[in-house]
Amino acid sequence: MSEYNCVKYRCPSNIALVKYWGKKSGGVQLPANPSISWTLTDLHATTTVTRTKLTDTHASSVSLEFFLAGEPKPSFEPKIRQFLERIAPFMPEVKDFHWRIESENNFPHGTGIASSAAGFGALALCFADFQRADLAGIQTWSEEEFLQTASKYARLGSGSACRSVYGQPGIWGETKAWSKATDEFAVPFTAEVHPSLNNWADAVLIVDDGEKSVSSTQGHDLLKDHPYATSRYQQAQINLERLLEIMKKGDLEGFISLVESEALQLHAMMMSSEPYYLLIRPNTVAIIEKIWLKRKETQWPMAFTLDAGANVHLLYDKSYSQSVMNFIETELLPYCKNSLYLCSNIGGSPQKN
Ligand code: DP6
């Protein structure tokens, strides 16, 4: 066991282009269909993990405390405890230590932005890093093995988090379109992306900053008896295959229609779950319609997408930044809660601090 007892990582959030929605039965956190995302470099979590050896080694449960932005947050501990219990079979030393976990996000709290991808990404990187240090001299991990381990651990915390550990687009879930892809962890999409899709950014338009009525985990669960689940999984497979080709070829029209269709399919699955529910709000629809209208008038390369909430992610080619910012400020801000939107570049890897 090394003398290495404190580690800190910063990890970006991500936004899916083809959505993970539904889990395979059997196994833990295995996706029912493949997904791909872009990391949001400028919306990130920074997590410090400090460990103290327990005298009672191999305790039956894990020992932890969690702080968010400097404040103790016992309400988050069950989810983190579950994460630690899930990684313990792969990293037995989890039960030998007390874990002090301090995390902070660089975006304001209560924006409705899913912080679990960044949070679990950063946490998983810290644990994989401890394990790498403990194994030093016994086993050497390549950088690829390290990232795959971190991605697997992140997946066990929150599925979508596993895609956050790569600067390149992250693919998660088996697909014949990318032979390295697996359900266990995400892998980077290393093919050359066409220059027309390689310089985009995301403006997250905050429509609703409240707690969601149905969490993502509950939403995934409702896919089990969903009448359209099988068709959706097939469609996601097809969309992922198409998207990889689109990204290589730089087919902008294809990109826009596929990404927007994916967002609407995600919400259509929510609306047709049993019980049905709705996470988009009137202002979500108003923003989408404004984007469609503006694109028709200007042909700007931009597309909206949604995560499991009311906020709209406006993805756009950065060569059009000035025009898009002006559009947001003059036409979209009235639909944003407290006139708030957050901008992020795309790509960029996690960092060890
Ligand atoms: C809509 O990863 O938050 O953002 O695995 O239960 O933690 P759990 O769910 P989560 O699901 C988010 C799904 C999504 C689409 C996506 O990111 O692919």
* Residue 275: burial class (beta carbons within 10 Å; 0-12, 13-18, 19+): exposed
Q: Cα(308) to centroid of ligand 1, in Å? A: 7
Q: Cα(217) to centroid of ligand 1, in Å? A: 7
Q: Please tell me the distance from the alpha carbon of residue 61 to that of residue 64, in angstroms, as a whole number.
A: 10
Q: Please tell me the distance from the alpha carbon of residue 177 to that of residue 189, in angstroms, as a whole number.
A: 11
CB distance 22 to 323 below 8 Å: no
Mapping DSSP to helix (H, G, I), strand (E, B) and coil, where does residue 211 land? coil
CB pairs under 8 A, 24+ apart, for 231-235?
Answer: 232/21, 232/22, 232/33, 232/265, 232/269, 233/22, 233/32, 233/33, 235/265
Q: Is the dihedral of CA 261, 267, 273, 276 positive or negative?
A: negative
pLDDT score of 337: 94
pLDDT score of 115: 72
pLDDT score of 211: 78
Ligand 1 pocket mutation pick from 216, 267, 313 by most atoms within 8 angstroms of CB: 216
Ligand 1 site residues, Cβ closer than 6 angstroms: 16, 19-21, 29, 35, 114, 116, 158-160, 216-217, 220, 266, 307-308
The answer for residues whose C-beta is within 8 angstroms of residue 303's C-beta and 6 or more apart is 255, 256, 259, 260, 291, 314, 315, 316
CB atoms closer than 10 angstroms to residue 278: 12
Q: Please tell me the distance from the alpha carbon of residue 198 to that of residue 305, in angstroms, as a whole number.
A: 17
Q: Cα(183) to centroid of ligand 1, in Å? A: 14
* Residue 148: burial class (beta carbons within 10 Å; 0-12, 13-18, 19+): buried
Ligand 1 pocket mutation pick from 28, 40, 160, 214 by most atoms within 8 angstroms of CB: 160
CB atoms closer than 10 angstroms to residue 190: 12
User: 3-state SS of 145-171?
Assistant: HHHHHHHHHHHHHCHHHHHHHCCCCEE
Q: Cα(3) to centroid of ligand 1, in Å? A: 36
pLDDT score of 112: 62
CB distance 161 to 119 below 8 Å: yes
Nearest CA to ligand 1 atom 3: 216
Distances (CA, A) of 318 to 62, 200, 323: 45, 5, 10
Q: Please tell me the distance from the alpha carbon of residue 233 to that of residue 32, in angstroms, as a whole number.
A: 7
Backbone angles phi, psi at 334, to 5 degrees: -60, -20
Q: Cα(215) to centroid of ligand 1, in Å? A: 9
pLDDT score of 111: 67
Q: Cα(96) to centroid of ligand 1, in Å? A: 30
Strands of the chain, DSSP E: 6-18, 35-53, 63-68, 71-72, 97-105, 170-172, 187-188, 200-205, 302-306, 312-317, 341-345, 351-352
Chunk the chain into consecutive blocks of 10 residues (it has 353) and report each block's average pLDDT, rounded to whole numbers: 85 97 95 98 97 79 94 94 97 95 87 80 98 94 97 98 97 97 98 97 93 89 97 98 98 98 98 97 98 98 96 98 98 96 95 94
pLDDT score of 114: 59
Q: Cα(137) to centroid of ligand 1, in Å? A: 37
pLDDT score of 18: 98
Q: Please tell me the distance from the alpha carbon of residue 106 to that of residue 120, in angstroms, as a whole number.
A: 15
Ligand 1 pocket mutation pick from 14, 20, 24 by most atoms within 8 angstroms of CB: 20
Q: Report the nearest atom of ligand 1 relative to the CA of 19.
A: 18
The answer for residues whose C-beta is within 8 angstroms of residue 216's C-beta and 6 or more apart is 114, 116, 158, 160, 308
